[in-house]
Chains A and B, each alone.
Chain A
Amino acid sequence: MDESGTDTETVNGAEDQAHATDEVERGEEREGQESDEQHEYETEEISYREALRRALHEELARDERVFLIGEEIGIFEGSYKVTAGLLDDFGTKRIREAPISEEGFVGLATGAAMTGLRPVVEIMTINFILMAMDQVVNHTAKLQYMFSGQVGCPMVIRTPNGAGSQLTAQHSQNLEGWFAHVPGLKVVTPATPADAKGLLKAAIRDDDPVLVVESLPSYNLKGEVSQDPDYLTPMGQAKVTREGDDITLIAHSMAAQRSLQVAAQLEEDEISAEVIDLRSLRPLDMETVARSLAKTNRALCVDEGWATYGVSAELCARVQDACFDDLDAPIGRVGMAEVPMPYAKNLENATLPHAKKIRAAALAVLGEETDPEEWRAG
């Protein structure tokens, strides 16, 4: 177990973590700014997909214990091309093609993590992780605790959620809340290219099992990303991506991007909306949320997934407890219509938590009624 020459690497890992902590502190000092700027490194505009690819490339190069395993991640370069070129650069030993066997290879990766490696598993989409649910929830999440910390589990499962391309009921889900429910797991949900790189790298360097839920509809989204090979986004820290005074839109993953669009529209209605991108669901940064609500006094939880028993349900419970005296209105929430995703384009549009629906929901929190005919169709 401990023969894999890992001691030195662990020390390096600790240094990296220390580095991340520095960044946390600096981030706090410059709150509200685009705070992830590095002194020596330039930023570059790249896609969310490319940001993920670079994170994987850099971490594979940095730590030989890291290996990737998943379906079609080698010759095929990944179902969504996130692993493009990695097989050429790192070979078949580090880029492990797996059969269509999620329970098997998630369990194998967990066993490898228990014995000194640092696996990064790709599950083609979050819908297929259900095949591995027993491994993730009953094994990966619990093993450190069950054995009182005698066995570690430094592993990452990365998988995209999302909907909107007529992929229908079995391929259009946002199930990250299921995993954020489980002690022992960490769940991060990057919404931007910068965080796609920073959170994936932080997850790979973390000593716990981390589910990195990527946004499939955002893979082509472009943004400025640092070229720093040690660029990390700290877990458990939300980001205020737009400041405002009248209402706070709390969101994660693609909903955080969409909330920014809605906030811009609301400005035309002379409503000043603040937007919080949670970035991390477990740990969850409630301090940033509470601070925002002390200012805006109104909240709308925006989620790509179903609201019932979902991430927004958790947020509502915590906000009413933490911010009861600050609230001027009931907390609103908006998510995907609670139906399995239909195929027909018009029905799919109506099911998604699209901008018109989010805007109407925000207006409702502010006490303004809207005509459902204006937003129902999407």
Chain B
Amino acid sequence: MKLSRVLLAIAVLACMVALLRLGIEGWGPLFAWLWTEGGYDEAGALSVLRSAGWFGVVLALLVPFRPLGLLGLALAAWCGAWCAATIWQREPFAALAPAMQATRLAAPLSLGMLCATPRRPGERRVRAAAVLLVGASAATFAAHGVEAFAMHGEFLDFLFLFARELEVSLAEPTARRMLLGIGALDVAVALGALLALRWPRARIALAWMGAWGLATAALRPLAYGSEFYADFLVRLPNACAPLAALALLRARDLQRAEPPVTHASSP
């Protein structure tokens, strides 16, 4: 369970640092919302985002050390505000934002649940955290699968850049077929992750999610340059959430395998 908490703490802190960076620069949908609909001028919107961003970072640092589940809820609300602004912005696939950003919402919530009061694996709150993380990871992967089926231009561009790095020629029809395959794999892995709650062999799906989530998050700074580090950090929950779920499920197994504690009884 300690490993889960560490993974989630990393994910939440990374996400908060990314949102702070986006807020300070005035990038992203929440700035656009504050500026367009919120009645703020540029300086006011930036000030709100900067203050809230720093607050988020401080809370993220506090969560692992303070047994307050509410801190996790507050961080999830902050991520939820970004998610709502993404829907408001109505860019392509915006309607999928709650699913695409599910790991970002679930990571602070489950961290809060795990840190609220130290509990042994198997207890109701821990089990709920595992279910939440698995569900969120599945939602995020399924949504990205749908994006891939819809031939998201940015995804295609990653394939073209990858092919260029390998110095192989990649025609667009081939890239589209590859993206269909990747989308199908994402959806299959999402289903596999849900099965992992009942069937231990399906946990390989969670391990795959961790590796794929890390690779795809790292693609942004690798492809576009180090200034895209926030794009990497904000996607780190896509890797950490399934791995944290995996660690929680493993911990539950170990607890079940432990011999029951027997108490000496008087004759």
Q: Say whether A associates with B.
A: no
Which B positions have Cβ atoms within 8 angstroms of A? none
Which A positions have Cβ atoms within 8 angstroms of B? none
